[in-house]
Each structure stands twice: as structure tokens, then as C-alpha cells.
């Protein structure tokens, strides 16, 4: 694979690295050098914001009819689809994914992009006209002029496409800071957006570090909103920094999902779902079902089957079409995940599968962790409470519904939970009781673009996707009009 070299994308063109510091990205699967990114500096943020603001004020995008914006976004989707095989390979190498996971990520992102584009033909607005013939009220929605987007490394494309197309449909200009580890595909999307017809200045991409580029974005007086996806600790910091200039802040943060299996569920389907929930994207998934709560009457047999299936999973590099799990994103994260595994062993959890770094010679250059199952996990253990962000599941037994609810909600996070049951009343009662922004019933991690996504508690603020995902990038204006009516109600 060729080593790709990237500059900084501002005002519709790539600025060469010149005298800037660069970051060499090696594939976490193979150790090979795959990309070099120029690192942006605070002055680049200022230039990008100036160009974004000018594009907004000139109306080259913001004043175009929404349906024309929608057409361009549909063209953007077609261009991504044409380039998908190459983009998926880049994503797999930079983010440490299997090739199938990378393709799946891009295909889902295309669905989000096309759905967001469709909202252009159904823009929000409301009329109030039944309060007397002398009054009309208009509720209109205006784009936030300049939106800053700060992104994580685990789903570089999906996390971008839960934001970017919605902001573009709204008419905003955007300044994007991808994760410093995975900026390649985001820069490719900026090129394709230009090719599709998005005017210069409307999209900027600044590869760089959080404390330098991200921090400047959060403090910049001309950025109206920060839309952030990442860890809860960085999200909290960003909210406080952005709060100084009272910017709007939307936060998609961490999670500690509980996947809850009742005895009356279709247990074969629940088993597949439980496995996918903690191994998808090798567990580097904010909605991962890292806690598995199983009803005590079926727990022994269910957990035994889960451990056996886990042991059969195939780890592999992006060249391996059959691989089901990739490596951890970098060495520090590998060490962190192995630390959680060691901690669970020390705390007395029972190890049923995996339990360490992969010991396969094929994978010796990568940061691979064996998919790991721990049983007999109690709520006081770190592995029950903290986001591991690796292929590790903590199994806990429950007795009845009340017990399951108490265990599931015993976390500071509230992003997603899953329920497996054949009793509809039970499913609805559980959905109402679970403290999370999303509840999966008889599936895990499956959704459609129309459904909004986001967290409660320490998992975030605001919603992405669905019509709510568009409104997030708009501000509401009310206009009250006093009329001289021809006729009026008299008592």
C-alpha cells in the first residue's frame, strides 16, 4: 500500500505540509507506515474559520435553496460510493479495523448521508395562525453559521457523517478536526465534497492534536457551535472551555451498555447479539454491550456457549477478508485494555475465554487482544463500571426484571442498552426503565437513519441523525406579525 501524504484542507484546497510538524501514522495491524499528516496550528484554525465565516456571509452555500444543497450532497454520496473500496482500505489501516468492518462503516455512512440529504426537501418551519385574524406567528430555523466538529478515531467516517451532512443541509460552514490518528479518510471526503459542488470555504479539515487545534476551536469567538464525539473526560473539558464564550455544545460521549437476556428470549439470536455487542469493531464502540446481564435460570448454558463462540473468532489484518476482529488503535490503548483484563482477574472475576494479547505469529506486529469473556462480575468491579473500549465482556446474573433494571442503570453512562425477550410488555417496560438514549430490543447495534442517537447522564448532550440531527445545527427564530384584519371575532 502506498504511503499517503496529506496537508491541511482550508478554503477548498490542500495546503502542503511545508514547515509544519508531521505525524506518521502506522497501521496498528501491521506496523507499516501508511500515512503522513501535516499537523495544523492555531493560526490554521483562525484561517479556516475566517474562510468558513466568509463563505457563510457571502451566502454561496447558506443562501442556496435547500433542495440544491440536497442535490449536491447526493452527488457527494455517489462519489464516495465510487471510491469506496480504496477508502475502506485506508480506514481499515488507519483505524485498525477489519476490511469488512470498514466497508460496513462506509456503507452505513452513505445511508446517513443520503438520508440527511433527503431532509433538504423537508426543511423545518412552523406557522401559528389560529390566534385571531390579527396575528400570525412564524417559527423559522436558521443555520448556525460556523460549526466546529471534533472527532474520535474509532469510527472516523460514521462519527463524521452523523454530523457533516446534517450541518451542510442546514446551510452551515464547518471546520473539522479529525482524530490525529485517523485523518486520512476525512481529508479524502473534503476533496470529494468539493468535486460534488460544495463551495470553497464551506468545509475545512485540520488534522492536529486536541490540546492545540481542538482547544483553539473551542475558544474561537467566531465558531458558533462545537459538535464533539469522544471520551466523557475530554467532552467535559470541552464543554467548560466552550462555555466561556457560550457556544452551543453537542456531546456524543462514552458508554457502558448493558445487553440484557431474559430466559424467554430467542436464545440463539441473543447469543449472536451478545457476541457481536462486545466484539464489533473489536469493542472500540461507544455503544458496545460490554456488560452482559443474563437471567440466572439460563445463565450457565448461555455463558458456556458464548465462551465457546468467542474462542472461535478470527483476528486479522485488513488483508484478511475473513477477519472478524482487528487490533487496538495504538500501543497505549492496548496496554490500557490489557490492564482492565488483569484488573478483572485480580478482582476475582472468572475468566472463560481469551484473557490477554493475541499469541498468533501472524499478528505479532499488531496490537491485537483476544476477545475475552469474564463471568461472575459484580457491580463494584472496574470492568463493570468503566468503559474498557476493547473486546471484553463482563457477565453478571440477574434474578428478575427489577434486578436487571437496577444492575443496568448502576452506571454513570447512559448511551445504549439492549433487551432480549419474547414478551412485548416486558420489552416496553424495560425500555421505559432503562436510563439510556437508545434501547435495542431483540437486536444490538442495529438501527435506521430516521432514529435519533445520543446519550443521557454522562454519555452526552444533544442528538444526531433523524430530523433531530438537522435541528441540532439550526437556531430557532420566532416572528410575530400584527395584522389589520378584514374581519375579527367579537363577543
Residue 159 binding ligand NAD, by CB under 6 A: yes
In whole angstroms, what is the distance from residue 491 CA to residue 489 CA? Answer: 7
In whole angstroms, what is the distance from residue 281 CA to residue 105 CA? Answer: 10
Look up 94 and say whether it is catalytic.
no
Stretch that binds ligand NAD, among 83-91, 149-157, 293-301, 364-372 (CB under 6 A): 149-157
In whole angstroms, what is the distance from residue 476 CA to residue 140 CA? Answer: 6
In whole angstroms, what is the distance from residue 150 CA to residue 173 CA? Answer: 14
Residue 211 binding ligand NAD, by CB under 6 A: yes
On the 0-12 / 13-18 / 19+ scale of CB atoms within 10 A, 209 is: middle
In whole angstroms, what is the distance from residue 114 CA to residue 76 CA? Answer: 9
Stretch that binds ligand NAD, among 223-231, 303-311, 313-321, 467-475 (CB under 6 A): 223-231
Look up 286 and say whether it is catalytic.
yes
Stretch that binds ligand NAD, among 42-50, 77-85, 210-218, 373-381 (CB under 6 A): 210-218
Q: How many CA atoms lie within 13 A of 205 on its CB side?
A: 31
Stretch that binds ligand NAD, among 13-21, 154-162, 195-203, 257-265 (CB under 6 A): 154-162
Measured in degrees and rounded to the nearest 5, phi and psi for residue 336 equal -65, -45
What cell numbers appear for 135 in the block? 396575528
Q: Which is nearer to ligand NAD, 106 or 234 (CB)?
A: 234
- Which of 8, 34, 88, 151 is close enough to bind ligand NAD by CB under 6 A? 151
Residue with cell 447512559: 414
Site string for ligand NAD, 164-203 (x = CB under 6 A): -------------x-xx-----------------------
Q: Which is nearer to ligand NAD, 105 or 180 (CB)?
A: 180
3-state SS assignment for residue 468: helix
Q: Which is nearer to ligand NAD, 210 or 343 (CB)?
A: 210
Q: Which is nearer to ligand NAD, 62 or 179 (CB)?
A: 179
| Residues β-bridged to residue 292 | 259, 395
Assess contact for 205 and 184: CB atoms under 8 A: no
- State the catalytic residue, choosing from 94, 172, 218, 286: 286
The H-or-E segment that residue 103 falls in is: helix 99-118
Residue 91 binding ligand NAD, by CB under 6 A: no
- Which of 229, 259, 317, 417 is close enough to bind ligand NAD by CB under 6 A? 229
Q: Among the residues of 290-357, which ranges form H helices?
A: 296-311, 331-347
- State the catalytic residue, choosing from 91, 252, 284, 285: 252
3-state SS assignment for residue 102: helix
Smallest gap from residue 223 Cβ to ligand NAD (A): 12
Give the residue numbers marked as catalytic.
Answer: 252, 286
Q: Could you list the residues that contact ligand NAD (CB under 6 A)?
A: 150-155, 159, 177, 179-180, 209-211, 214-215, 218, 229-231, 234, 237-238, 252-255, 286, 387, 389, 415, 455, 460
Amino acid at each position: 500500500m502506498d504511503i499517503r501524504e496529506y496537508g491541511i484542507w482550508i478554503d477548498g484546497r490542500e495546503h502542503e505540509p511545508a514547515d509544519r510538524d508531521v505525524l506518521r501514522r502506522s497501521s496498528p495491524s501491521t506496523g507499516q507506515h501508511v500515512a503522513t499528516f501535516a499537523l495544523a496550528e492555531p493560526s490554521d484554525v483562525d484561517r479556516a474559520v475566517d474562510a468558513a465565516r466568509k463563505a457563510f456571509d457571502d451566502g454561496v452555500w447558506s443562501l442556496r435553496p435547500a433542495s440544491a444543497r440536497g442535490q449536491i450532497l447526493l452527488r457527494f454520496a455517489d462519489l464516495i460510493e465510487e471510491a469506496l473500496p480504496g477508502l475502506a482500505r485506508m480506514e481499515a489501516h488507519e483505524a485498525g479495523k477489519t476490511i469488512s468492518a470498514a466497508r460496513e462503516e462506509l456503507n452505513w455512512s452513505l445511508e446517513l448521508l443520503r438520508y440527511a440529504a433527503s431532509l433538504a426537501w423537508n426543511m423545518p418551519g412552523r406557522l401559528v395562525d389560529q390566534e385571531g385574524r390579527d396575528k400570525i406567528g412564524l417559527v423559522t430555523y436558521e443555520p448556525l453559521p460556523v460549526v466546529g466538529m471534533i472527532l474520535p478515531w474509532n469510527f472516523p467516517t460514521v462519527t463524521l457523517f452523523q454530523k457533516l451532512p446534517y450541518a451542510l443541509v442546514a446551510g452551515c460552514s464547518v471546520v473539522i478536526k479529525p482524530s490525529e490518528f485517523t485523518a486520512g479518510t476525512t481529508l479524502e471526503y473534503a476533496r470529494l465534497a468539493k468535486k460534488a459542488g460544495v463551495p470553497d470555504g464551506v468545509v475545512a479539515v485540520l488534522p492536529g492534536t486536541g490540546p492545540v487545534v481542538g482547544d483553539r476551536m473551542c475558544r474561537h469567538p467566531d465558531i458558533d457551535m462545537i459538535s464533539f464525539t469522544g471520551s466523557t473526560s475530554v467532552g467535559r473539558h470541552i464543554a467548560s472551555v466552550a462555555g466561556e464564550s457560550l457556544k452551543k455544545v453537542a456531546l456524543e460521549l462514552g458508554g457502558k451498555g448493558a445487553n440484557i437476556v431474559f430466559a424467554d428470549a430467542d436464545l440463539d439470536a441473543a447469543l449472536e447479539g451478545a457476541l457481536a455487542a462486545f466484539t464489533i469493531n473489536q469493542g472500540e464502540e461507544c455503544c458496545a454491550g460490554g456488560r452482559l446481564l443474563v437471567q440466572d435460570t439460563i445463565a450457565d448454558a448461555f455463558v458456556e456457549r458464548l465462551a465457546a463462540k468467542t474462542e472461535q473468532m478470527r483476528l486479522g489484518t485488513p488483508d484478511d477478508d475473513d477477519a472478524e476482529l482487528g487490533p487496538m488503535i495504538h500501543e497505549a490503548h492496548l496496554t490500557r485494555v490489557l490492564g482492565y483484563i488483569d484488573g478483572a482477574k485480580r478482582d476475582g472475576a472468572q475468566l472463560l475465554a481469551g484473557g490477554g494479547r493475541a499469541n498468533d505469529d501472524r499478528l505479532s506486529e499488531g496490537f491485537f487482544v483476544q476477545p475475552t469473556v469474564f463471568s461472575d462480575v459484580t457491580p463494584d468491579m472496574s470492568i463493570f463500571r468503566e468503559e474498557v473500549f476493547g473486546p471484553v465482556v463482563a457477565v453478571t446474573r440477574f434474578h428478575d426484571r427489577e434486578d436487571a433494571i437496577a444492575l443496568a442503570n448502576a452506571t454513570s453512562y447512559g448511551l445504549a442498552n439492549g433487551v432480549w425477550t419474547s414478551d412485548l410488555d416486558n420489552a416496553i417496560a424495560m425500555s421505559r426503565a432503562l436510563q439510556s438514549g437508545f434501547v435495542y430490543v431483540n437486536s444490538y447495534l442495529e438501527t435506521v437513519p430516521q432514529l435519533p442517537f445520543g446519550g443521557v447522564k454522562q454519555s452526552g448532550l444533544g442528538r444526531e441523525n433523524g430530523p433531530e440531527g438537522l435541528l441540532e445545527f439550526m437556531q430557532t427564530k420566532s416572528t410575530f406579525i400584527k395584522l389589520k384584519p378584514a374581519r375579527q371575532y367579537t363577543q
